[in-house]
Amino acid sequence: MSSASSALSQYTLSQPTLDFLARSHGHFIGGKWLHGNAGGVIDIHDPATGLKIAHCAAGGAAEIDAAVKAARAALEGPWSKFTAAQRSAVLWKISDLVLANFQQLCELEILDNGLPTPLAQYVCGMVVPEFFRYYAGWPTKIEGATIPAAPQGKLPGEAISFTLREPIGVVGAITPWNSPLPMVMLKIAPALATGCTLVLKPAELTPLTAMRLAEICQEAGVPDGVINIVNGHGETAGAALAAHPGVDKIAFTGSTEVGRLIVKAAAGNLKKVTLELGGKSPVVVFPDADLAQVIPGAARACFFLQGQNCMAGTRLFVHDKVHDQVVEGIAAVARAMKMGPGLDPSSEFGPLISVQQRDRVAGFVEAGRKEGAEVVCGGHSPSRPGYFFEPTVLAHTTNDMTPVKNEIFGPVLCVQRFGDGDLDAVARAANSTIYGLSGSVWTRDLGVAMQMVRKIDSGQVSVNMHAAIDPAMPFGGNKQSGWGREFGKEGLEPYLKTKGVSMTW
C-alpha cells in the first residue's frame, strides 16, 4: 500500500474520489492534462492527519505562458462564436454536473481543506450550484446603452451613439486555500458569463477541486482553452501570471500583503486588477439585542471554517450590560464544539490548513496573553494528529494588542466592551483597522442599526446576522480589504469593457 493510500484507509471514500486522488496531477491547458514540473512536485496533505494523500506537478513561467496562449486562442476562436444563450446553457449545465458529482466534490474538498461534512455538503450542494445558476441568467442580459450624443455637431437623426459591452479578454485568477471550490467558482462563473477566458492558479495547499471543476466545465461544453489551470507556487507560477503581458485582468483573492505584490506585477502592461483581500471584521452587540441569536451567531461568525474565513467576525464589541453573559455564552458554544476530521460526520470543528498556520495562530494567542488579554476558553493545540487548534475567546482586549491588530485567520475571537455613549465612538472603535470587508450589528432598534450600517466602513454589513452571502449580493472590501466587488451584477463589471460607438451615414 502506498503512503497516500494508507493515509486514506481510515476513511470510507467513494471510488471516484479514490481514483481521482491516485492520478498523477498536472496542469489543465488547452483542454488537456500536461505535466510540466519546473517548480518541482507539490505534496497534498490531509490537514486532519497531516498525511500525504496526493501530489501534483508545480508549474512555472513556461506552463503559465502555454496556458495564456491557449486562453488567447480560445478567446479569439471557438469561444467568440458562442452566443450569449449558449454561454448561459453551459453555465447551467455546470451547475447540474456539480450536483451530479456532489459526493466526490465533497470528499475532495474535505480532504484538501479540512472543513466539516455539513459545511462541505452546503458548499457543494447549494452554494456552488446556485452560484452557477445565478450567473447562467446573466449572459443574455449584458447590455450596452444608446446615448443621446451629438458627435461632431450631428443633429438627431444624423448619427447614433451607443455602447458595446465586450469581454475584457484573458483573465488571470489566483485563489487561496481557505474555501477552495467557492473561490474558484467566484472566478470561473463571471468569466464564462461575460465571454472571457481564464488561467487559474489555485492555492498550492488545496488544488484538488479546482482541477475537478475544470474537467466538469469541459464536460459541460466549455471549449478547450477557455478554462486553464496551472498548479504551482505563488512566488513562481502566481507571480508569472500576474506579470504576464498576455493577461488582460487579474482577479486575485488572498492576503493583503500578496495583493500589494499583484498590483506591482500588474503594472507592466497596466492590466486591470480586482483584489479580494484580508479582513478583521467587527461584530457589535447592543444591550437590547436578542442574546439567543447573538451568542450562536457571534460564535459562528468567528469560528466558521475554523476562523479561516476572510469575513470572520473576529473583533467582538459588546455593551457592558450584556458583556459577561455574551462572552460566557460564546465560550460555552466554543467548548461544546466537537472537534474532529471533516470526514467524520459528527465533527463540527475541523483542523487548520497547515502546521505553519496552527503555529501562527498559537503565536497570536500567546502574544495576546502576554499583552494582558484573558484567555476565556481554548488557546491550545490539542495533542492529536493533524493541525487542530481550539476555538479561543480572548477577553479584555484593546486595539493596540497584537491579536486585535492582525488578521489571524484562525479561531480566535477578541472581545472589547463599550458603555453608554454616542454611536460614533462605537463605530470609530469598530473601524480602527486597516481592513473593511464585513461586519455586523446586533440590536432590535432599527434606528441604531441603520445608523451603524452607515458608520461602519466595510463592503458588507449585516444586521442580526453575520456575513450574509448570496450570489445576487455584491461582496468585496473597502480600505485594504480590496478593490472591486464579486457576486451579483457588480461582479460582472470587472470582466467587461465598454466600447463607445458613434456612427453617421
The C-alpha cell that represents 355 in the structure block: 502546521
3-state secondary structure of 268: helix
Q: Hey, how many other C-beta atoms are within 10 angstroms of the C-beta on 283?
A: 29
63, 107, 276, 407: which one is catalytic?
276
How far apart are the C-alpha atoms of 142 and 154, rounded to whole Å? 28
* CA atoms of 76 and 89, how far apart (whole Å): 20
The Cα–Cα gap between 100 and 97 comes to 5
Q: Could you say whether residue 279 binds ligand NAP (CB under 6 A)?
A: yes
Site for Mg ion in 206-245 (CB under 5 A): 234
276 counts as catalytic: yes
Instruction: Decide which of Mg ion, ligand NAP, none touches 63; Cβ closer than 5 to 8 Å per partner kind.
Output: none
Cell numbers standing for residue 324: 459577561
Cβ nearer to Mg ion, comparing 176 with 223: 176
Helix extents (H) in 280-422: 291-303, 320-336, 355-370, 402-405
Q: Considering the complex, what minimum distance in angstroms separates the CB of residue 329 from ligand NAP?
A: 26
3-state secondary structure of 470: coil
Cβ neighbours of residue 263 closer than 8 Å, sequence gap 6 or more: 273, 275
H or E segment to which residue 284 belongs: strand 281-285
* 310 a catalytic residue: yes
Pick the binder of ligand NAP from 107, 276, 390, 493 (CB under 6 A): 276
Please state the φ and ψ torsions of residue 75, each to the nearest 5 degrees: -60, -45
**Residues 6+ away with beta carbon under 8 Å from 454:** none
Shortest distance (Å) from residue 242 CB to ligand NAP: 5
Residue 205 CB, nearest distance to Mg ion (Å)? 7
Q: How far is the CB of 235 from Mg ion (least distance, A)?
A: 7
| Minimal CB distance residue for Mg ion | 234
Select 251 or 375, whichever has its Cβ closest to ligand NAP.
Answer: 251
Q: Which string of x and - marks every residue 193-232 that binds ligand NAP (by CB under 6 A)?
A: --------x-xxx---------------------------
User: Of residues 168-187, which lie at the interface with ligand NAP (CB under 6 A)?
Assistant: 174-178
Among 224, 248, 407, 493, binds ligand NAP (CB under 6 A): 407
Those residues whose C-beta lies under 8 Å from the C-beta of residue 481, and which sit 6 or more positions away, are 256, 276, 277, 278, 279, 310, 435, 436, 437, 458, 459
Question: CB under 5 to 8 A by kind: which of ligand NAP, Mg ion, none does 482 bind?
Answer: ligand NAP
**What residue number has its CB nearest to ligand NAP?**
234
Interacting residues with ligand NAP (CB under 6 A): 174-178, 201, 203-205, 233-235, 238-239, 242, 253-255, 258, 261-262, 276-279, 310, 407, 409, 437, 477, 482
The catalytic site residues sit at: 276, 310
Q: Give the interface with Mg ion as residue ranges (CB under 5 A).
A: 234
